[in-house]
Amino acid sequence: MGRVGLTGWRGKLAGRMAEPISENTGLTQEQVEALFGAIFLALTFWQFFKLFRRVWRAGQGQEMTPA
């Protein structure tokens, strides 16, 4: 599942780094790519959560702080 989202620059980055990492660890290249995909997915969710929280607070009339 994590590998599906690896498109564009993220896919190129994961593809270039997966082989050397898999050679130095006990993981396969596919597992390393899946880990990269999971990391990028988690970062996307975190960014969305921060945006949602700011929108929610603005809707409540709270003062907005810089991100």
Q: Which of 42, 41, 44 is nearest to 4 (CA)?
A: 41
Residue 61 corresponds to which tokens in the numbers above?
């009339």
pLDDT band at 3 (very low <50, low <70, confident <90, very high): low
pLDDT at 1: 57
Q: pLDDT of 20-64, one tens digit each?
A: 999 999 999 999 999 998 888 889 899 999 999 999 888 888 766
pTM equals 0.71
